[in-house]
Amino acid sequence: MRQIFLDTETTGLYADQGDRVIEIGCIEMVDRRYTEGADGQGGRFHHYVNPQRSSHPDALRVHGITDEFLADKPLFADIAADLLAFVQGAELIIHNAAFDLGFLDAELARLGLPPLRQHVARVTDSLLMAREMFPGKSNSLDALCKRLEVDNSGRDLHGALLDAGLLAEVYIRLTRGQDALVVESHDEAGVRLDLPSVDLSRFQLPVLAPAAEELTAHDRLLADLDKACGGKAVWRPQAVA
């Protein structure tokens, strides 16, 4: 399974009001492991983009990417084909996906290209995942890093590639490091292991009957619970008339 963790930085908050993408960062995993890129630093896509407009002061305080720095960077049109080739057919994982997709789709629309969802297998919003797992709590990327013990000490300012990397680590912890209840089929070096197939139906599990004192203690506990809820317990068997 090929997954790409994606983040963007922008000139402001409103793609429908002309704000533009200024940075795109993507990090690739295959079978939940980082891939190796030609640079030896892993499969990634990272570009700064000249937005042809200035960043809002509030946005500049968040990402710190100045107009002067972006002046000689490529336009989105110059890197669009490479971006689409990199994400083609993958699962995109984005924190607050509606925001990033809104900006990227606006950029693609300016070039007469279909929305990003039409180029990938699916989009997973890690913010929605976190809200289901931690309802009522802050689920920003920083909050999740702290809760899930992901080191974000180097994140003084937001950066698309940095945040994509943090998101990858957060996602692995959100999903408990596995996508099925099976024994790991690879060793720590990523080499596939040949695990023997076992027919579990031939095993018979022993059934241990409770002792008399255990049954008495259980009945006493149920009686206490029944009393605490005013005789409305539904877990006790009802007498048959």
Q: Catalytic amino acids?
A: 158
Strands 91-94 and 2-10: parallel
- The answer for residues whose C-beta is within 8 angstroms of residue 81's C-beta and 6 or more apart is none
Terminal C-alpha separation, the chain: 58
Question: CA torsion, points 139, 145, 147, 148, in degrees to nearest 10?
Answer: 120
Residue with tokens 């959100």: 174
Q: H-type helices in the chain, by residue range?
A: 57-63, 67-70, 76-87, 97-110, 126-133, 141-147, 160-174, 212-228
Distances (CA, A) of 16 to 9, 13, 83, 117, 135: 16, 9, 22, 18, 30
With residues binned 3-state (H G I as helix, E B as strand, rest as coil), the percentages for the chain, rounded to 5, are 40, 15, 45
Answer yes or no: are the C-beta atoms of 32 and 7 closer than 8 Å: no
